Amino acid sequence: MTSQMTTPMTTQATMEGTVALVTGGSRGIGAATAVRLARAGADVAFTYVRDKDAADEVAGRIRALGRRALALRADSADAREAVEAVTRAAEGLGGLDVLVNNAGVGLLGPLESYSLADIDRVLAVNVRGVFLASQAAAGRMARGGRIITIGSCMTQRVPGAGGTLYTTGKSALVGLTKALARELGERGITANIVHPGPVDTDMNPADGPYAGGQAALTAVGRFGTAEEVAGAVVYLAGAEAGYVTGAEFSVDGGHAA
By three-state DSSP, how is residue 128 classified? helix
Residue 3 DSSP one-character state: G
Question: Where in the sequence numbering do the catalytic residues fall?
Answer: 166
**Phi, psi for 149 (deg, rounded to 5):** -120, 140
User: Do 42 and 15 contact (CB within 8 A), yes or no?
Assistant: yes
Alpha helices in the chain (DSSP H): 28-39, 52-64, 79-93, 116-123, 129-138, 164-184, 211-216, 226-237
| Cα separation values, 25 from 29, 50, 110, 215, 230, Å | 8, 12, 29, 25, 11
User: Do 226 and 182 contact (CB within 8 A), yes or no?
Assistant: no
